[in-house]
Amino acid sequence: MKQQISYKMDGGLNAGQTVLTEFQELPVIYDKVIFQDLEEKIISKRWSFEEYENHVTTTLGNSYKGMNKTLYGKAVEALKTIVYARIQHKRGSETKEAISFLHQDIKLSPVTIHGILLLFGVKISTAKILELSNETFYDKAQPSWMNAVLGGESQW
């Protein structure tokens, strides 16, 4: 019992160096894997987002490149949303939510998100990525303990 608790209580990382998310445990190294795979398939081979997403989700097994393929497919969908919105000069909550999903749920770093978007000609600064992700974070329901810390109701 003590070992299980100690593995889970090290700042979101367990002994295998994975980030714990609501979807699954994602290895920290997926920033490079996702970036390189997108560069190879979409940029070099000139696949569309739809072809790439279909490739990811129809591979045998439950994973693609070691990551849950359903989750990976959602990440591709989020990237597609951002790229198409920027191409069509649309700004809205969909783009903000997609960036937030990539940063908070998929655990991609803002630098990686910035680099991936640059592959598709979308210029957005890492500061803007953090700002949009934080806006979405603050819109989410906060746990009661956080309200107490932020000066809400006192539990004392």
CB atoms within 10 A of CB 22: 6
Closest CA to 134 of 100, 84, 87: 100
Angle between helices 126-139 and 93-100 (to 10 degrees): 100
Q: Summarize pLDDT for 42-99 with one digit per residue, the tens.
A: 999 999 999 999 999 998 999 998 888 999 999 999 999 999 998 887 777 788 899 9
Whether the model pTM is above 0.75: no
Nearest to 139 by CA among 102, 95, 93: 93
The reported pLDDT for the residue numbered 104 is 87
Instruction: Return the beta strands (E) in the chain as ranges.
Output: 18-20, 25-27, 63-64, 67-68
